[in-house]
Every structure is written in structure tokens, then in C-alpha cells.
Structure 1
Amino acid sequence: MDEPTLVLSRGDVAALFDADTAYDSQVRAFTAIGQGAARPSAKIMLEHPGLDDLCFTYASRLLPFGAVCKFGSVNPGNAERGIPTISATVLALDAGTGRLAAIIEGTEITTRRTAAATMVAVEALAVPGPLEVAIVGTGVQAAAHVRALAARGRTVEVRIAGRSAQRAASLANELAADTGLTVRGAADVRSAVAGADVVVLGTTSHTPVLDAGWVAGGTLVVSLGSISPTRCEVGQDLLARAARVVVDDRHSAQVQAGPVVAGLASGRLAAADLTGLGEVLVGLAAGRGGDDEIVFYNSTGIGLQDAAAAAAVIATARDRGAGQHLDLSQ
């Protein structure tokens, strides 16, 4: 007889997938890639002319766990509605039988694993010591990143900038109260970035939101929103200044990461110039060559991140008896 399918809501995921669990899951995912123990799968993305949204899906497997599939969409207009720009559902199969083991609300798991993966990149690629961090964007990912930074304990100040200085200030005040970090709203992107050790871009912009001339030597610039060939949160001027271009997956980045796609097309970049984050974690490549280097990290999001996250959430749910169960065999 089939085991009932575990169903985990957004609230379940929030309770089960804390910052440390999320971080550990992402270290596991990228380490497996670096060791060659897991291979990222291709992502299917659909964009339509005249629409700013896109939909995506991919399947992946991180042994010894079963396969995981995520289906979702990116709707930038949701930011104005105060809801996440990314919506998703995650399905996980049993490793032995291949039957549906779990249905997981995917928006929360995506938000938390994305922020956790940035923390992995920060530990591997940022300059050592206390950090000042600038975040561009005032949506769900901005809040998730501030909370993840607070959990890691290296950050001394966060500055948030967005299209609305008022919104940035309001979010900063809310997050300062929630986390105990010093969080300030900035008047504009340039003032937020000034003096920052890490810059996190959390928009879905088709055009650059960051001028390379604003970025000081030694800065790690992270792009979360350059997730398709048409979306470029940074321009080629930033790539020209970057000593290293690091990506979550070298193959995916060449066809999906907007700045990388543009750099390859122009000849500014070659495929050999790209470094995988997993390679850095396992010591096959250096994250940076000195404290004065600018490092650019482009995250498009890959299925193995979700596979690792789902495995962690399911294991914790089973340990705690959390979630609901649905018998789909009837």
C-alpha cells in the first residue's frame, strides 16, 4: 500500500526550515556539485514578448534522496502588491518507489534557500571580517536576506535602497526591530552601495540598477534577479571590473544569466572565465585573489538547491510529525 503523501504549507516550511537548516542544505547542494557527485539539470523557462512575467520548471535529484520537481512563476508586479514575486510548488518523490512523497509550498522554501545560498556565497567570496551590506530591492528577498545575514553574525550594518526611499526606510525600520541589526534605508542605490563590502541586487530588472563606478575594490556583488537572458541587473561595465565571475552553475549561466549571456555574446567573457560556486567550496578554484578584487556572483537558481532544501524540510517534518497527509491512492 502507498504511504500517504506529506503536505507542507507555507507555515510548515517557515517553522521547519530555519536559517541554519537552510544554510546547511545549500552547502550540501553546492559541495555535491563541486565534487561532481550531482549534476544540475536544465531549467525550462518561458517568457513572452510584452509580458514581464515568466514561468519555469525543472527536475533534479540529490542522492540518496528522491527526485524533486519545482514549477513556478516570476511576477515582478507582485512587489507592488506586497506579495512574493516568485510563486512555486515543489513535488518530491520517494527514493525507493518513485511515488509522490511530498507536496511542499514552494514560495517560502525558495525564498529561504535563495537567501541561504547567498550566505554561502558571502562566506566563500566576500572579504574576511565584519561586513557592511547594501541590498537593492525592497521585496521579499530583501527581508529574507537581512534575516539570513543576522543569523550568520558577520554583518555590522545593512543599507536598503529601492525605487521608493520611503518604502526602503520603512522596511529597514521593521527589519532592525526584528533582527537587532543596524538596518538603514538609503536615499538611493549609490548612497547604499558606498563603502559596502557586499552588494545584493534583488530586483528583476531588464536594465542595470548598479553603476560599476559606484563599487569599491574588494566588493562582492551578488545578482539574484539576472535569471534570464533579458534580465541584467548589472551591465558589462561591472563585468569589466570584476576579477572573477562566479555562478551557481556554469552551464546554466551561459544560457540564462543575463549579464553572462551578454558578456559571452560580446566577447568580453569566455566560458572558461566562469567559476562555479561549488568549485570554490571544495577548493578546486579560488573565490578571490585578494581583498581589493571585485567579485561578481550571478545566481540564477538551480534545481539541486531545491532538492537539498526539500530533503531537509521533509526530514525535519518527519522527525517532528509536522504537516498533513493526503492519500492520493483512493
Structure 2
Amino acid sequence: MKFAERLGLSLPLIQAPMAGTSTPALGAAVSNAGALGSIAVGTLTPQAAARDIAQVRAATDRPFNVNLFVHTDPVPDPAREAAWLQALAPRFAEYGAAPPEALETIYPTFAGNAEMLAMLVGLAPPVVSFHFGLPEPAALAALKAAGCLLLATVTSLAEAHLARDAGIDVLVAQGWEAGGHRGIFDPDGPDARLGTFALTRLLVAQSGLPVIAAGGIMGGAGIRAALDLGAVAAQMGTAFVACPESSADAAYRETLASDAAYRTVMVDAVSGRPARCLANRFTALADNPDLPQVAAYPRAYHAGKALNAAAKAHGEHGFGAQWAGQGAPLSRPMPAAKLVALLAGELAATR
């Protein structure tokens, strides 16, 4: 498959779908500039997801990507969750607050979500991508029949083979360097922690599917390196966080521009799944060896968001989910269209 040609891209680049940070305005701006813009709807209801898709379509007539979370629906574990809330209680107390009395599953999984599937089939976005796993075969077949190109994040060759056998069209090879949530299918299983370029080359050689390289890529030279390894495109997320079209708050932007960018940390304490974050008070909390087992995703995120809200109410912004990859120090704040044009020029200069 000639990925860029099929989607009419002038630059083989995908703006990563960053839940809570990417916006319809960002996705549309990237698509209008000749790359593939993305929105993340894994945290939304079908109605809110349809609203965001409509907003992208109102702002661009070019292809775009809609991303969903396909995590295992967690089984509540009262003892484990109570221990986790008790461990966080002293931090809540610093801000005159108490943790939630009980945790809730704040985000539904796409697996088995008939209402979300029906909405997507009806609206048929050009590209649909999956993170944390794969939906059931019938859902994939329905989306393909609607004309959607299907992408899936993978972190290993074994996951790539599962995706290929399920009917996924293109793999997103997420390296250990990548910011945000690690897309590993089983967060409790072994993780080889392959870097972006090692994983990309492995999947190009042995997966049998087109590969998009993701993780730590911040400029045209990185895009060129990915293409030279056989990738059909590169995916970049952290590079777009500082764009004015993203929904990153002022504290997130300031932290990204600070020395914290030179030390990103993979933690599960924020949400219950491993995710790479800028060094902040939450990552420091996660360094405590006496912490009990974190509650499951996304139930732990209920507590993480509550702690962040309590701290922010008192002027402390260090408990936010300030996701970023290892390339964070190379961030360049500018409008999305300008960044895409800059990246295209840098890529052209590498020929």
C-alpha cells in the first residue's frame, strides 16, 4: 500500500491522536496543511465523538484519523482500589481535599461498544485507529465495509501479527521513547521496550504490513530516518502539544518548555497504565517504592484526575497528565500549519 498516496498526503506524517490534548481544530489544521490530522475519541461518548468528527469535517475536506481505546474492561477490585486511595490520601490532604470514596470506570472501551461502532460506521471517517488492543472481528469488518482505513498501535512483533491476522491495514510502531500511554495490549505482560527505530525495522521486515514509526520523532531528519528504515510515514505527538490549536493548558506548556523535558518518566501511577510523562510531582510520587499496586486503568485515572483538580484549585499544577516523549526538548511552539510546513522543508532538505 502506498499510504501517503492513498490519503493524498503531501507529507508522510500523522499528528498523533492525543486524548485530552488534540482537538478538532488541531486535526483539521494538520490535514489542511497536507499531513494527516487526528482526533482522539476514546474518552468520549458516541454523541461527543460525533460532534468532534463533525467539527473536523466542517474545517477540512481532507482525510483525518479518529482514534479509539480498546482496553480490557476492568473488574473492580475493592481491596486494591482502597489501598491505592489510601496511599494518595496524604497528597489530597495537602490541598484540603479527600480522595474519591470509590473509583469509577471513567472511560468505556471500544470493545463491544455497539453504539460507538454504529456512529463510526454511519459517519465513516477516512481513517480509524486503535490503541491498547484490537476490537472484535465484526467491528473491524463493519468499519472496513464503510470504507475506513484501519490502523493499530503495536509495541512488538507478536502484537503486529495479531493486528495483521485481525485485518488491520497499517501498523503504528510505538517505540519506548513515545509520549503518552504505552499501547501495549497487556500492560501486565512482558514488555521488550523496543525503541522506535528497532521496532520499525523489525516490523517492516517481518510483519507483512505497512508501518508508521512513532516515538521520539520531532523533526524532518527523524521522518527521513523512519522512511529510510522502510516506514510509510512517521507519527508525531509531542511536537504538536505546544501548537496553539492543542488544548494543553499553560502549566503543561510551561513544563514542556522547562528542564523537565530533559527527563521524561514512564509511570502507571497517573492512570493505571504505563505512560510517558514530563517529570512533575506525580512522577515523583510514583518513585516511592512503598506505593501499593496501582488500581487498574482507567479506574486509577479517576483518582489521578481528582488529585490534579484538587491541586490546581490551590495553584499547584504538578499533578497533571503532562504526557511527552523523549524528544520533548526539541519542541518548537508554533501554529500547526507552520510546523507541518517546517517539517516538510526539513524532510526535503535531507534528500
- Common fold, TM-score beyond 0.5? no
Higher RCO, Cα 8 Å, sep 6+: 1
Structure having the higher strand fraction is 1
For normalisation by structure 1, the TM-score amounts to 0.27
